[in-house]
Amino acid sequence: EAADEGFAILEKQEIVPNMHFFKVDAPQVAKFAQPGQFVILMARETSERSPFTLVDWNAEEGWISLVIEEVGRSSRELASLQSGGRIAHVSGPLGMPMAIEKKGTVLLGGGCYGIGAIYPLARALRQAGNRVICTIEASSSYLLYQQAELQQVCDELIVATKDGSAGVRGGVQEVLSLVAAREPIHQFIAIGCTFMMRMVTELSRTLNIPTLVALNPIMVDGTGMCGACRVSIDKTTRFACIDGPIFDGHGVDWDELASRRSAYARQEVEALSQQVD
């Protein structure tokens, strides 16, 4: 294999434990990327394919950036790569871009990898003239990241921690309650783990706030062919890779999503243990 095959890693850093920032040379992706889209990465030729939301990109300079959470074998392989190394495959941009409209006040909530993923949406929504409030959650203050970047693209940044070590005690859910009690929210967008998105979506339904979520089912081909990413939205089957990943949160069948994720997670654990054997 030629030394220049693959996509060069321009920058790589573990920003908080288990969360890795990557800046990757990928001019074709950078040229066409839009807010809400993702890429599928393969660390090596033989790696599993895994999807990651684009955090930032620069068409002129030809790079994209991503935040990769270490949660399984494929993300661990990626996390082991360093600046100056290469990622075997970067496919994208994939998925439907988010429709960027002027709604009024938009609240974006991010947890885990979603703290990175809300950044391009916040920037685009603010450029479109919205009042943009961002909230990010973590279990403790040392797990928060991207604050300075978010501050630049939001009218207000509200931090929340489960242990109360910074900002509001609690998470995106608690901040949604606080902000809704104080002012009208015309659009709420949540990105993070399935459990968080489910909880905040239930609350926003009771508050009557239109809600978008970026779903994170397992993906394989990312082109609508394999069916791995199917989800039910308003009782209709959709493919997160081509119809999403952003959907109306109030239409999501969360039980189905959780069970499909755990069924695949078990297979991944099996694959991992075979490798260890």
| Core vs surface per residue 118-153: b (16+ CB within 10 A) or e | bbbbbbbbbeeebbbbbbbbbeeeebbbbeebbeeb
Q: How far is the CB of 149 from ligand FES (least distance, A)?
A: 29
Nearer of residues 149 and 221 to ligand FES, judged by Cβ? 221
Q: How far is the CB of 96 from ligand FES (least distance, A)?
A: 12
Residues 219-248 that bind ligand FES (CB under 6 A): 219-222, 224-229, 239, 241
Q: How far is the CB of 217 from ligand FES (least distance, A)?
A: 8
d(CA 182, CA 201): 19
Q: How far is the CB of 218 from ligand FES (least distance, A)?
A: 8
Site string for ligand FES, 190-219 (x = CB under 6 A): -----------------------------x
**Which residue in 108, 28, 109, 41 sits closest to 76, CA to CA?**
41
Element at 28 (helix H, strand E): helix 27-32
Nearer of residues 12 and 260 to ligand FES, judged by Cβ? 260
Nearer of residues 210 and 224 to ligand FES, judged by Cβ? 224
Per CB under 6 A, 271 contacts ligand FES:
no
Tokens of 58: 């620069």
Nearer of residues 10 and 226 to ligand FES, judged by Cβ? 226
Q: How far is the CB of 222 from ligand FES (least distance, A)?
A: 5
d(CA 67, CA 114): 9
HEC string for 212-255: EEECCCCCCCCCCCCCCCEEEECCEEEEHHHHCCEEEHHHECHH
Q: How far is the CB of 91 from ligand FES (least distance, A)?
A: 11
d(CA 250, CA 228): 22
Site string for ligand FES, 126-145 (x = CB under 6 A): --------------------
Peptide bond into 217 cis (omega under 30): no
Nearer of residues 100 and 271 to ligand FES, judged by Cβ? 271
d(CA 224, CA 159): 36
Nearer of residues 84 and 227 to ligand FES, judged by Cβ? 227
Interacting residues with ligand FES (CB under 6 A): 219-222, 224-229, 239, 241
